Chains A and B, each alone.
Chain A
Amino acid sequence: MTVHTSPPARARRETQRVHPGFVAAAVAVLLGVGGLVVGARQAAGTAPPARVEASVPADGVTVGDITVSGAWVRQPASPTVAAAYLSIRNAGSQADSLQSVYSGAARETVLHGQPGVVQPGAHVASGPLAVPAGAVVTLSPARGHVMLEGLTGPLRPGDRVSLLLQFARAGQVLVEAPVIAIGAAAPTGAGP
């Protein structure tokens, strides 16, 4: 995980703010449809080749001072486990922390990512992920991830996995993580 600290970006604070009630409603809808694996699956014939370059749109979702963006999931090789990656910007003057993540795509989600907290050991959750004031925290391959364990179904390129992030201060943020092909390059520059 990398943490980049920078002054709060004023412009960012004017971006889309999602009312918690709206999020809750959206979650309810999404939960009801397809167990949070949302979006149309591409027809088999149009699946991108394994080496297709992934691009992540500017997809930041802002709630309060927190913007979550650049979420993605690599198509898992395992039928049971996958990892989600994302960036979190805290534009506020107070620290926040990611408490938990919920996804209907898996029976269990575990945060594996807080530097210095995770000890060698199997399936040790890292606990809440600190997001200091003015910082951008990025979970990326080998630098933290949200483990999706006990997948409820296959994840294929073109699918979108919804992730409901629970922050201590900002509350709930709902983002969608596109599934990229197994052989696709990891998206870069996805930070908010």
Chain B
Amino acid sequence: MPVESVYPALEPLLPRVKKPIQYVGGEVCSVTKDWDSAEVRWALCYPDAYEVGAANQGVQILYEVLNERPGVLAERTYTVWPDLEALMREHHVPQFTLDAHRPVSAFDVLGVSFATEMAYTNLLTVLDLAGIPLFSAERALAHPLVIAGGHAAFNPEPVADFLDAVVLGDGEQAVLAITDLIREWKRAGRPGGRDGLLDKLATVAYVPRFYDVAYHSDGRISNVKPNRQGVPASVSKHTVMDLDAWPYPRAPIVPIHETVHERYSVEIFRGCTRGCRFCQAGMITRPVRERSITTIGSMVAGGLAASGFDEVGLLSLSSADHSEINEIAVDLADCYEGTNVGLSLPSTRVDAFNVTLANELSRNGRRSGLTFAPEGGSERMRQVINKMVTEEDLLRTVTTASASGWRQIKLYFMCGLPTETDEDVLAIAALARRVIAAGREASGRRDIRCTVSIGAFVPKPHTPFQWAAQCAPEVVDARLRALGGALRADRAYGKAIGYRYHDGQPGIIEGLLSRGDRRVSRVILAAWRDGARFDGWSEHFSYGQWLRSAASALASEPVNVEWYTTRERDYGEVLPWDHLDAGLDRDWLWQDWQDSIAPGGAAEVEDCRWTPCYECGVCSAMGTEIQVGPTGERLDGKRLLPVVSRR
């Protein structure tokens, strides 16, 4: 049966909201397929505003993978801003997709990508506006299946009651496996109803309602057990092993509205084994799998031609670590010289080679700023987090950068790391001054600027710091204030130093949502009912609202916000995500945690790409292996890369 567009009802509301273009779709490379000839229909949701969601690589990839399949249809939906939400409620306009303005409730699946926990309340807005019951248990056969993925989904327990299923890890193959299961189930006449489908899905995804959580009287979890036959005790992540076989996005949607990343992005490898102990992404995306230089070259050529973007981002968790990054940088710079295409490498690794790469990529362009992330202010702190950057490394890097024309150095740090003292944070001020001095000396100029950017550390599941006590927001804020004072103290450097910080309060709520269990769902629901929306946006976030919601929602429980955040866990405690398997050996994580806080100083873990395997557990558990080059191939600009506007 055809599904009618809600656009006629939406259109009269659009002149009354801010930036209406974000709600109309119709972008170049967006796809509208025939409803009735599709057997399986996905609504893909990034639960944030269009300007953030449209730039998300994960949703873009799945949109293409699904729409390329005959009989499968995928459309996009985002969280609407509160101005439109109010009008939609008043005029009974349901949550819609952008592509054909179909009601989300008509789809088979609502796939939700969680890059951050701070989007959980936005999920509830989407479900509610769609007319889908908030709780999985209350949904009927006609409602879409609500499936989540993304990094935050590695601990989905705080939103488990709102989700029907959760996919861990890479989505490309998983969404097709799920599509096949749904198609078979529909063709067979939907045997077993909604539960019958979830039963099948439990082989490829985590179905929270098939697991019961039991608690000790003190509030800790005693166990998490499947409550039906045939459901695995532990659910494993998905890993795509050949990135060259999945060269997406090929033709990214070209937003009309401004978005946070205005460029064509290519993931040059997935995974990271540098072993930074705070980094959830680096832990849950192992092993390292490189995309080959030739695939990268053809993706860049095809993506630019299809989109008309004038900037290319070479993405990964540490892009300079690609085994052929030198060749990639030189060859792409050659291919696109004179075309006004900008190439960028999110530079976070602190070494002089990274500067050489940045020089190459900006060969004919502007050299404004370089970003490095030492993360910890003192050398001791950097050892604790296993980010082995010496001050000498940093100053040598800055010297190289300043000598090659870079004027602004941005440094990223975290505050509230395990074992951190006031002195560790104050060390950042001295470091920033030395950076400026080194830059001035190397360039012979006075206009060197250093911006210190710092935020509160939030311990994340599946990392060595998953057991750590999160630093109290008062402590974080006091250290941030002290650092601000220290940065301004020396007049010789005062104006050359910029300071940006995020205070500690949002970090506590992020911590609650990151390491929470199923009881936290009540807090999310209470906060959302009280009006919490867009919690990742400082102008919308209300700490007081969250604390009030937590106090009322957890009143009958022996736990509270502090229990979830600033409390250190011990080895024996069952963590809410212990039954979700990212491949990491729990004992290895524990040992790494103990190594980081050893009284005699933290032990270093080296990168397994260049040193022997230290058995984090991923490859053996998941049947995967590191895939790195070199391939020895080169890009021949004129032959391999049809250049876009060099006529």
Are A and B part of the same complex?
no
Residues of A within 8 A of B (CB): none
